[in-house]
């Protein structure tokens, strides 16, 4: 281990920049529903999310390991590769945030790393075992997020069918604080670990770590940067998810958060990196469709889905081109 080189410092700064933008576009997922139902104020929700994201990130390193050494061969890439991936993420996520669209930083990070790595070392640099986990994550976020939330809200509607709307609202207003906390914790255990993994990968490539080992200071630094991003720019995404897509009540918010958080936690324990954006959005669609399909604003959903579809090719292509340019320059 030696001194930090200028190249390593720049790449680490780019990772933190991507984590900050993640706070704009992805981290608000964990508090969008509890803010939109007015159970918690944005300021209190951000503090809770920051604390429980940190606790969740401390709960394991399986997802961070998948990102740092399971998607591409770390020995075949270099610092410029990681830097190119981060530039692609910052570009795409900032563009999506400008239009209030919740993008998946998970998909952006994975596709960015893949695109930059292929420009550096060719297609053989990709590791199939890690990509299998990515595909499983897509299934978890789509079907498990939607299905669990739909089942929970249907069960709530049946159990409280004779209760007044005010009583249901009051009871689940209190319960939603717990479900929001669960969602924030699960976000940290999966999504919070991804850029921790990228930061650790950069430290390995820069010669500061002999092998994969997540340090406490890395977890703390990334968690704080993500929290600052959420507090400064997360309201656009909170508004899109919690108000524009479906008008949520407290019992629906509880069901969406509980279903999404459960799906995310299952994935985290198996080291499966999934999109928390995708998961909570599908959960919100699940609770909205249980009420009635017309309750969903399908125009907003189309915009969000289009952003998801474009994330993989755009981030992959931008990272690939950026990596080629960086290799020519340096």
- Count of Cβ atoms closer than 10 Å to residue 182 Cβ: 21
The secondary structure element, H or E, covering residue 265 is helix 250-269
8 A C-beta contact, residue 40 and residue 34: yes
**Residue 50: HSE in the Cβ half-sphere, 13 Å Cα cutoff:** 21
Stretch among 69-73, 286-290, 323-327 having the lowest mean pLDDT: 286-290
pTM value? 0.86
- What is the predicted pLDDT for the residue at 34? 81
- Count of Cβ atoms closer than 10 Å to residue 2 Cβ: 8
Tell me the β-bridge partners of 72.
Answer: 126
- What is the predicted pLDDT for the residue at 62? 87
Instruction: Return the C-alpha torsion angle 4, 7, 13, 19, nearest 10.
Output: -110
SS3 for 49-116 is HHHHHHHHHHCCCHHHHHHHHCCECHHHCCHHHHHHHHHHHHHHHHHHHHCCCCCCHHHHHHHHHHHH
165-205 vs 62-69: helix crossing angle, rounded to 10: 40
Tokens of 88: 């692609």
User: What is the largest distance, in Å, between two alpha-carbon atoms of the chain?
Assistant: 69
pLDDT in tens, 201-245: 999 999 898 877 888 899 889 888 887 877 776 666 665 555 555
Left (φ > 0), alpha (ψ -120 to 50) or beta: where does 103 sit?
A: beta
Q: CA-to-CA distance for 81 and 40, rounded, in angstroms?
A: 41
Burial of 305 (0-12, 13-18, 19+ CB in 10 A): middle
Location of structure tokens 């993500």: 226
Q: Is the pLDDT of residue 175 over 60?
A: yes
Location of structure tokens 């407290």: 250
At residue 258 the predicted structure's pLDDT band, cuts being 50, 70 and 90, is very high
Task: Characterize 260-275 residue by residue with b for buried, 16 or more Cβ atoms within 10 angstroms of its Cβ, and e for exposed.
Answer: bbbbbbbbbeebbbbb
8 A C-beta contact, residue 138 and residue 78: no
Nearest alpha-carbon partner for 26 in 272, 193, 256, 258 = 193
Q: CA-to-CA distance for 75 and 19, rounded, in angstroms?
A: 24
pLDDT in tens, 104-119: 778 899 999 999 999 9
Distant-in-sequence, close-in-space partners of 262: CB < 8 Å, separation ≥ 6: 144, 148, 186
pLDDT in tens, 19-43: 888 877 766 667 777 877 788 887 7
Left (φ > 0), alpha (ψ -120 to 50) or beta: where does 25 sit?
A: alpha
Stretch among 21-30, 52-61, 294-303 having the lowest mean pLDDT: 294-303
């Amino acid at each position: 281990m030696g001194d930090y080189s200028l190249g390593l410092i720049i790449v680490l700064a780019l990772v933190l920049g991507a984590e900050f933008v993640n706070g704009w576009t992805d981290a608000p997922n964990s508090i969008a529903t509890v803010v939109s139902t007015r159970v918690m104020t944005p300021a209190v929700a951000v503090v809770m999310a920051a604390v429980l994201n940190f606790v969740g990130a401390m709960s394991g390193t399986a997802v961070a390991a998948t990102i740092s050494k399971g998607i591409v061969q770390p020995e075949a890439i270099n610092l410029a590769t990681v830097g190119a991936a981060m530039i692609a993420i910052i570009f795409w996520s900032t563009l999506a945030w400008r239009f209030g669209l919740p993008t998946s930083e998970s998909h952006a990070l994975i596709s960015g790393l893949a695109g930059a790595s292929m420009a550096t070392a060719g297609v053989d640099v990709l590791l199939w075992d890690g990509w299998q986990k990515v595909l499983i994550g897509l299934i978890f976020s789509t079907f498990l997020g939607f299905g669990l939330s739909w089942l929970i809200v249907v069960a709530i509607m049946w159990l409280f069918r004779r209760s007044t709307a005010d009583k249901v609202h009051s009871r689940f207003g209190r319960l939603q604080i717990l479900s929001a906390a669960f969602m924030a914790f699960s976000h940290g255990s999966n999504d919070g670990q991804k850029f921790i993994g990228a930061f650790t990968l950069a430290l390995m490539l820069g010669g500061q770590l002999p092998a994969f080992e997540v340090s406490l200071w890395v977890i703390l630094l990334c968690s704080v940067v993500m929290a600052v991003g959420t507090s400064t720019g997360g309201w656009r995404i909170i508004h899109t998810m919690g108000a524009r897509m479906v008008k949520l009540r407290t019992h629906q918010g509880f069901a969406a958060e509980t279903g999404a958080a459960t799906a995310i936690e299952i994935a985290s324990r198996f080291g499966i990196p999934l999109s928390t954006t995708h998961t909570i959005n599908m959960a919100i669609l699940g609770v909205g469709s249980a009420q009635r399909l017309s309750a969903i604003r399908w125009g907003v959903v189309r915009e969000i889905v289009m952003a998801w579809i474009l994330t993989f090719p755009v981030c992959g292509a931008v990272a690939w081109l950026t990596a080629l340019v960086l290799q020519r320059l340096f």
